[in-house]
Structure 1
Amino acid sequence: MKNRFVFLHSINFKIGLSFILILIVTIEIIGAYFVRQLEDQNVSNFENSVVVPAYTLNQISENLTDNDQHTRENIGNAIQDYTRVSTDITNVQVVDRSGIIVGAKDSEGNNIIGTQTLKDNIKQSIKTDKKITQIYYEKD
């Protein structure tokens, strides 16, 4: 019985085992670093793809001054054009200065156009006249 596990007591085995364990730990650390970098890059790319192009903003802002059916159709068309290009976006709301939603694309299919917005950050943005941008990530 003593002769079976003699190799476990040799210095060569201990050096080899130590080397393998250090190698495994190093690979784990490097892997975690690359995964974190990849995640940061993917989030950054997503945030860049979500930014509304200037021509869409101009088209919507020109139509926000009027409040008729044709204007709402134009805003709806601009939202549809934008969301058709970017498939990552599930919800878009265009809100006028009084807090009324004048255009929207809702993933749940709710018709929220013409209703008062319930989001506190939008109300705060209207009161302070500052731009607030929030991007929400939905986890599958």
Structure 2
Amino acid sequence: MLGRTYDNEVCSIARSLEIVGERWSLLIIRNALFAGVTRFGDFQKRLGVATNVLTTRLESLVASGIMTRESASGGAEYHLTDKGRDLRGVLVAFTDWGDRWEAPGGRPIIYRHDDCDGEVHSGLECTACDRVPEVVTASKGPGMPDEKWAHRAD
């Protein structure tokens, strides 16, 4: 069984997975971002997730700073923080990938820009030449210890 942390990894993907990689987490965030869901019962009704699992996921998202929990009449409300709203691009990228590879009946959701109604997609472009690269390589960043980089698999 996989653990919940990736202690031996010096990798932003691994650190991100520790926070949002559990089943249901990104779907909770999706509902908060794109459907405006804030209440426990509404998350449960839309997702059909067990209440104990939803409770655990929401508590985890609050503990990690992705959501806040606020008292409201009729129960608590969960709101995305800036950290949570910054996952918008990740969800659009997952959607684009899923639309290409896992949507045999066609795209189930289309994201649109509220200001002009244009479609929104994820993009990968080079900051130096503005082109979409066919090949992307990883290089050592300032947060990578030399000893970890020296032992990476090529």
TM-score (norm 2): 0.24
Q: Which has the higher contact order (CA 8 A, sep 6+)?
A: 2
Higher radius of gyration, 1 or 2: 1
